Amino acid sequence: MSKQKNLSHLDETGSATMVDVTKKHATSRRAEASCTILLNATSYDIVQNNKAKKGNVLEVARIAGIMAAKKTAELIPLCHQINLSNVAIDFKLSKSDQSIVVSASTATTDKTGVEMESLVATSIASLTVYDMLKAVDKNIRITDIVLNFKDGGRSGTFIREKSSSHKL
């Protein structure tokens, strides 16, 4: 049996705590996260052909994701406020399965990582797509919100294996 790692946001008594990064050095850190949005034919057509009455769905979602990344510390209670040097949101449309893969990448030079910023950006961008299309498709599914890559910091580089899945 492998030894379980201590959770960084719990102290020795099990109480929630913010990780103390006082003595850490600022280093370059990057992260990438993604999710998949599954649409019906009507909503996919609206996105693909930019026909939404509310505006360009993907551009609104891009702005929402960038804004969300910058507010991660306000949304996730024990996250540190960090200075982001870059946030990028990309979309890959697949006509064959009427889906959109949302990808968010974040970067900083700071004392702690940007994984949560990438995950929050991906999540909010996808929820924005849902919000803009819900009038025509309430069956939209947002799936597989995952961290794909992170680099920098004490734990080094993480790259998600393509076949990686967790069993609950």
Does residue 71 sit in helix, strand or coil?
coil
Q: Are strands 27-38 and 84-94 parallel, antiparallel or unpaired?
A: unpaired
Report whether 88 contacts 163 (CB < 8 A): no
The amino acid occupying position 148 is: N
131 is catalytic: yes
Q: How many residues does the chain have?
A: 168
Yes or no: say if 4 and 10 are a contact pair by the CB < 8 Å rule: no
Of 20, 90, 97, 131, the catalytic one is 131
Name the pairing type of β-strands 27-38 and 99-110.
Answer: antiparallel
Query: Which residues are annotated as catalytic?
Result: 131
